[in-house]
Structure 1
Amino acid sequence: MEKSEQIMVGITDFNHKLLLSRKPIMERVLSGFSLSEISLIEYIASYPETNVTQIAAALYMTRGAISKLTKKLESRGILNSYQKNDNKKEIHFTLTVAGQEVEDRHRKLHQTFISNDKPVFQSFSDEELDIVIRFLNCYNQHLDQELK
C-alpha cells in the first residue's frame, strides 16, 4: 500500500475510533442534543452576532439546515435570534443562559479530552507536530479547492 493510502486509511480509522470513543461520553454529558446542535451552539458562543449564512459556511451545512436547527434551539430556550436595526434581512443569534450552560459543559468535556490526549502529543517533538500541522493545513486547503 502506498504511503498516501496508508495515511488516508489511518485518518479514516482515527476518525471512526475518535467518534466511537467520544460520542457516548458526549451524549451522556450533553444529553438531548445532537452533534450538529452542539456544533451550532459552539459556533455561536465563539462568534457572537453571527448569522445563518456564516454558520452554514463554517459548519458545512445548508442555510436551510441551519435555519431548522436554530428554530429548534430557540424553541428550547438555548438561543435567541434578533435583527439589527441597520439590516432587517439578516437574522443573528446569541446564546441564552441555558445555551451558555450547554456550551460550558461542552468546553469542559473538550478540556478533559485534551488532558487525556496530552501524553500522546507529548511523545512527539515540536518539529514532528509541526509536520503534522503542516500536512493537515495543506490537505484542508486541497479539500477547500475541491469543494468550490
Structure 2
Amino acid sequence: MNKEEQLIMNFRDLFNKMVWLNKFKMEESLKGYKPSEVHCIESIEKNRDTNVTKLAESLYMTRGAISKLTKKLIEKGLIEGYQKPDNQKEIYFRLTEQGKVIFKIHEELHKEFQERDKVVFEQVTEEQFYSMLSFVEKYTMHLDSEIKKQGIAIN
C-alpha cells in the first residue's frame, strides 16, 4: 500500500471511529430525529438566508431531497419558511423555538466530544495544524474540481 492509500485509509478509519463513538450519545440525546434532519437544522441556524439551493450545496444532497427534508422539518415544527419583502419568489428557512432546542442539544454534544478529544489536539503544534489544514483545503479544492469536470450537480 502506498502512502496516499494509507493516508486515505487512515482518514476513513478516523472518521468511522468518530461516527461510531459519537453515534450512541447522539441517538440517545436526539431520539426521533434522523442525522440528515439534525444537520439540516444546523445548516439553517449557522447560515443566513438559507434556501433549498444553499442547503443542497452545504449538505451535498439534491434539491429534491432537501425539499422533502424541509417539508418534514416544517411538519415537525422545527423550521418555518419565510420570504423577503424584495423577493416573493424564493422561500428561506429559519428555526422555530423547537428547532433551536434541537440545535442547542446538537451543539452541546459537539462541545462534549471536543472536550473528550482535547487531549490529542493540545499536543498538536501550530505548524502541524497549519500543515493539516492546508492539505485538507488543497484536497477539497481538487475534489471540487473533479466534481465540476464530471458535470455532477450536487444541487
Tell me how far 1:88 sits from its aligned partner: 2.2
**TM-score normalized by structure 2?**
0.92
Unaligned runs of 5+ in 2: 149-155
Instruction: Name the counterpart of 2:86.
Output: 86
Task: Tell me the distance in 1 between the aligned counterparts of 2:107 and 2:147.
Answer: 29
Unaligned runs of 5+ in 1: none
Contact 1:48 1:93 in 2 (8 A): no
Relative contact order, higher structure (CA 8 A, sep 6+): 2
Instruction: Name the counterpart of 2:95.
Output: 95
- The runs of at least 4 aligned residues of structure 1 exceeding 6 Å deviation read none
Tell me how far 1:85 sits from its aligned partner: 2.7
- After superposition, residues 1-148 of structure 1 pair within 5 angstroms as 1-148=1-148
The percent of aligned pairs where both chains have the same amino acid is 44
Task: Tell me the distance in 2 between the aligned counterparts of 1:104 and 1:140.
Answer: 29
Contact 1:53 1:63 in 2 (8 A): yes
Tell me how far 1:48 sits from its aligned partner: 3.3
Task: Tell me the distance in 2 between the aligned counterparts of 1:56 and 1:120.
Answer: 33
| Partner SS for 1:130 | helix
The one-letter amino acid of 1:87's match is: N
Matched residues, number = 148
Task: Tell me the distance in 1 between the aligned counterparts of 2:147 and 2:41.
Answer: 24
Task: Tell me the distance in 2 between the aligned counterparts of 1:84 and 1:123.
Answer: 47
CA RMSD of aligned residues (A): 1.0
